[in-house]
Each structure stands twice: as structure tokens, then as C-alpha cells.
Chain A
Amino acid sequence: MIEVTGLHKQYGTRTVLDVPHLSVERGACVALIGANGSGKTTLLRILAGQLKPTSGTFSTPQPVLYLPQRCYAFRGTVLQNVLIGTKNKREDALSLLERMELAPLLQKEARSLSGGELQRLAFCRLMLRDCTLLLLDEPTSACDSHAAELLLQELQRYRAAQGCTVLLSTHSRAVAAQVADRCLLLANGRASALRSEAGTQCEFSFD
């Protein structure tokens, strides 16, 4: 379960994230939506332990897996990329890549993949590892609709197997509607009026 209180991030004098309170129950899947620069990545990076907040406290279950918004391909083939730091996962990796329709690219140099292929690869790298909290930053932003469909199916499969909590950011209402139990709208950043008005955060159900 995620608990956040008074989380605040500033760059210089500019506040980019201000979340007075947020709690996500165990096993839930929450979609983070909001305009460019509204602080989605900032929030996810803080929860992933990769960015220090200016003030505030939060607690997250461990271990955490985090998919950055910008995907990085390590040296080596697609298969080697997926297997980095794992043991005895070759069979699992092969069937995972098969399901994600990356099987034809198995032996291809990962750095030569297209944007959408790379995004699926980066997602697959996480799907071979265990976690209790999964943080995904726009996991389908580079995917075509079919690839996005595959990815979300795989996500549901992983959730069922792991029982983990998921927090994902997206610009697609369709993606949010398909996998999320509820949505969290981040609306701060540029408009300071909005920030003081809404306290940067409003929650609403998606049904």
C-alpha cells in the first residue's frame, strides 16, 4: 500500500509537485493522468526512490519496479537485454517475448529497435522480475494500438500472478479505462492558479 503525505518537489522556487495526501490500497491499479509537465514523472520517480522530494514523506511496499518514460536499450540482443540480472528465466523470457510478438527480433541488436519495439522490450525486462509495486511511466506511449493491447494484456497477467500494486501514467483515457481501478488527475505545474485552487490533486472514479 502506498501512503503519501505532504509530498512537495521544487526546482529553484518553482513547485512542480504538491501532493497533500495520497493513498493507494494494496493490489489496486491507479492511472495517473494530467497534461505535459503536470508532474506525473516527478511523482513516479520519487516513489521509485530515484528522486528526492523537497519535503514530505511517503512509504511504498518493496521491492519496486519502475519503467522510465524514456526507454534505454542495453548493449546486446533483445534476449540478452531481457535476461540481464536474472537466473534461470530463459524459458519464461522466450514465452514472454513470444506473447509480446518480439520473438522474431530475439537475436536483434536491442539498440537498433524501433521506438515501439524498444518500449515493449523495456516492459518485458520488468515482467520477468518480482515486485509488490509496479510503476510505469507512459508504458504505451510509443506503441500502436495492437502493441498497446498486447502490453496491457501482459500487465493484467502479471498483476494476477504477482498481486502487486500498479501506478501508471498515461495520456490515453482508453488505456486508463481499460486497466485502472481509478484515475488520479495531476493538475499543477504551469498554472499556479490551478495549483492553489485544487491543491494539485483531484480524484475521481472511472465508471
Chain B
Amino acid sequence: MDAFRQAMHLLFTLDPELLQILGVTMRMSFFSTTISCLIGLPLGTLLGTHSFRGKAFLKKLLHTLMGLPPVVAGLLVYALFTHYGPFGSLHLLFTVRVMVIAQCLLITPVVTGLCASYMEQSAAGILETARGMGLPSGRVLLLCLTESRTSLLSVVLSAFGRSIAEVGAVSIVGGNIQWKTRVMTTAILLETNKGNFSFALALGCILLLIAFVVNVAASWIVKEARYD
């Protein structure tokens, strides 16, 4: 209860550091989710609606990547972007950008895999009809996506959920730098380690609140059209 009061206090006094952390968190999660979905949804639809050689292998690979531990993804990206790494000259380490890159590595397989299995189960009727109408394959793909948008919303939301809740990759490549790359989860971790339990809990409450607001907003955006 104390934590909740503290959370409200932090929010309503517009604590500048909290606002900054919130900003970074939202920016990171927004871009990670958007990029992962822009890649993963079309890819998943393709995978779920076409059969080709090596598909079974590709799906196994995808399922492995879906279970990729965040710290491993973080390490991998760290190795790529560290000063002497292949992309070291870009000087991206410990920036929000590289955090987004690491998260995309984590989330894109999840989006692709979930989307593919959804399409495999339920896109048959759409496909048969759209192809039967002689529509070009790009158009068929687009129809599959738009027709399933309410179901795909939960895929997008779980991507967002994974992004905003993720701490391992983000703390490795972001470094939890105050005023720069600190996000909600890394802040919570830090405060907990410092023994500031109620403050950490307050941050946790706010994180939960954000997740709730995003869910409500998203389901409002793709609200089902009511029949006449």
C-alpha cells in the first residue's frame, strides 16, 4: 500500500527522473515492437501460408530463437557493437538504439512464430478465396493480415509486453546509464539491489499501469466494427 502511494506520488508530482525513464522505456518499446512486427508479421504470414522446401527446418530454427534467453541476445549484440566488434565504429553501444536492436533480435522470432502458427490454423479460407479471385500474391498476403487483425493484435501486444518487461538484454547493451539508457526494468532492478524495496515496487506499479493503458488503447484502435 505504501508502495502504491509512493507510485502515485511520483506520478503526480511529475518526478523528472521518473518521466525521463518512462520516456526512454516507451521509446524503446515502441520501436522494438514496431520493427519486430513490421518484419515478423509479413514473414510469419508468408511462412504460415506457403509450403516450401526446408520449411520444417526453418520452423525448428524459429522455435529455438523464440526461446533465446535475453542475456544471450544481449551478449551477442554486445559482441557485435563493442569497440573492437564488427560494428564498433558505429559507436552505438550504451544507446537506446542498440537496446532496440537487441530487443528486435529477441522479439522478431516470437512475432514471426506466433503469426505463422495462427495463419496455419485459420488463414486457409481467406487464402483459398483470395487466390481464387486471381488476386496478386502481395494483395493476398495483405488480406490475410488485415482479415486477422484482431487476432494479430494479441501477437503485437505480447511483443510489446515482452519488450517492456525485458531486462537482461537491455541492461547488458544499454548499461543502465542514468538519464540516458535507464528504463523501468533496469531501474527496478537497481533500486531493489540498493534495498529501496518500496520505491522499486512503486516503479513496478507504474510499469503495470502502462501495460494496462497500452492494452486498452490497442483494443480500442482495432475495435471490431459492429454489424448493422
A residues in contact (CB < 8 Å) with B: 45, 48-50, 63-68, 70-72, 74-75, 84-85, 107-109, 111-112, 122, 125-126, 129, 131, 135
Stretch at the interface among B17-25, B102-110, B130-138: B130-138
How many angstroms from the CA of A84 to the CA of B134 in the assembled complex? 11
Stretch at the interface among B85-93, B111-119, B121-129, B158-166: B121-129
- Is B227 interfacial (CB 8 A cutoff)? yes
Across the interface, B227 reaches (CB within 8 A) one of A109, A122, A129, namely A109
How many pairs of A and B residues are in contact by the CB < 8 Å rule? 58
B125 and A70 contact, CB distance less than 8 A:
yes
How many angstroms from the CA of A125 to the CA of B125 in the assembled complex? 15
A74 and B125 contact, CB distance less than 8 A:
no
B228 and A125 contact, CB distance less than 8 A:
no
Q: Nearest chain-A residue to B226 (Cβ)?
A: A109
| Given A68-B128, A74-B143: A109 touches B134 (CB 8 Å cut-off) | no
Chain A, interface SS category = loop
A109 and B225 contact, CB distance less than 8 A:
yes
How many angstroms from the CA of A84 to the CA of B143 in the assembled complex? 10
How many angstroms from the CA of A108 to the CA of B227 in the assembled complex? 8
CB distance from A127 to the nearest CB of B (A): 11
B134 and A50 contact, CB distance less than 8 A:
no
Q: Top 7 nearest A-B pairs by Cβ distance?
A: A66-B132, A112-B227, A72-B129, A109-B227, A72-B125, A68-B128, A85-B135
In the complex, chain A residues whose CB is within 8 Å of the CB of B143: 74, 84
